[in-house]
Amino acid sequence: MALTQVLLGIILYKYLPDRLLTHWNFALLIVATMMIAASGYIVNDIYDYPIDRINKPKKLIVSKLLTVRQSWWVYGIFVGLGAVDAVYLAYTIQDYKQLLIYPLAILMLWAYAKKFKKSFIAGNIVVALYCAFVPGILWYAERASYRLLAEKSGDQALFIRNVFLGYALMAFLTTAWREIIKDMEDLKGDKAYGSQSLPVKYGMPLAQKIASFLGLVVLGLMIYYGRFLWGAHRWAALSYLCLPIGLTIFTLFLPMKSLDVKVLHQTSQQIKWIMLLGLGYLYFLL
């Protein structure tokens, strides 16, 4: 997430006529985002550890490396450090509306871990929205500068908007796709502890169809964008785009061959690689 904001920040500041965030402020924004993500992972592990004892017994952190009480302390430390960072940043740039993002994000990830993750589809949507929300944090912080850019150069402002919205859309879709695959992988533990995830409530076949549909949407958007690169004769970018396209095609066929837990885990990992390759594509926009 930090790398996402760094790369998007380089693209954004290449065009903005003025910037609100100094380099120091930008670093503080990245740290606050990292604190949100870290606390989200911790609280998720805390609430999930009874299920993870079934689904991922070898990868447990809570109850093995840390007790539940210690994990809550670590969670509190991360939330507290992030809050101090967010308050200082808002004070420095004199933008207290920006400060509202931090508690809302913390609350959203806590609610995801506590309730939404075990409910039908809501958890998948919440975590996908958060991943799509990450680039928006920077864009919102520089909203005044972006308005100045729009007045000065509509084409450049449109390019920035398309980059941020395009990245957010792909982040949402790939995350939702991966979350459903992870729910399929975790079926045994989720069922044992009364989770109402999509595979538990409506069965693996429907979950498989929805996951495949999301994967096909991701693939379709990449191919559509590839046609634009072809028309613009951007051969280097198009050659790079072939990597996530090829991996997406291969990944789509994995759950169709088998619904074995190992195959589903491999599928989940490959979607993560597709995400990383998407992040790498930002290099061609610098």
Q: What is the pLDDT of residues 104-142, one digit of tens each?
A: 999 998 988 888 877 778 888 888 988 888 888 888 888
User: What's the burial of 63, exposed, middle or buried (CB within 10 Å: 0-12/13-18/19+)?
Assistant: middle
Closest CA relative to residue 24, chosen from 104, 68, 85, 114: 85
pLDDT category of residue 35 using cuts at 50, 70 and 90: very high
Instruction: Provide the greatest CA pair distance for the chain.
Output: 58
| pLDDT per position as a tens digit, 203-252 | 888 998 999 999 999 999 999 999 988 988 888 889 999 999 999 999 99
Domain residues for the domain of 30 are 2-285
Contacting residues for 229 by C-beta, under 8 A, at least 6 apart: 237, 238, 241
pLDDT value for 58: 63
Nearest one of 233, 235, 247 to 277, comparing CA atoms: 247
Q: Amino acid letter at 38? A: A
Contact 285, 11 (CB under 8 A): yes
| Mean pLDDT value across the chain | 87
Q: How many domains does the chain have?
A: 1
For 147, residues 6+ apart whose C-beta sits below 8 A from its C-beta are none
Give CA–CA dist 118/243, Å, rounded.
34
- What average pLDDT score do residues 185-189 get? 81
Instruction: Answer whether residue 64 shows pLDDT above 70.
Output: no
Model pLDDT, residue 211: 92
Whole-prediction pTM value? 0.88
Taking alpha carbons only, the member of 144, 69, 145, 133 closest to residue 102 is 133
* Closest residue by Cα to residue 190 from 64, 52, 61: 52
111, 162 contact by CB (below 8 A): no
Greatest mean pLDDT among 39-43, 137-141, 174-178: 174-178
CA angle centred on 279, ends 223 and 217, rounded to 5°: 35
According to the model, what pLDDT value does residue 99 have?
87
Non-local CB neighbours of 6 within 8 Å, separated by 6+ positions: 30
User: Which range (46-55, 57-66, 129-138, 257-266) has the least confidence?
Assistant: 57-66
Residue 158 in this model has a pLDDT that exceeds 80: yes
Q: Which of 113, 133, 131 is nearest to 123 (CA)?
A: 113
- Rounded mean pLDDT of 73-81? 93
No. of helices (H) and no. of strands (E), the chain? 13, 0
Alpha carbons 148 and 154: distance in angstroms, whole number:
10
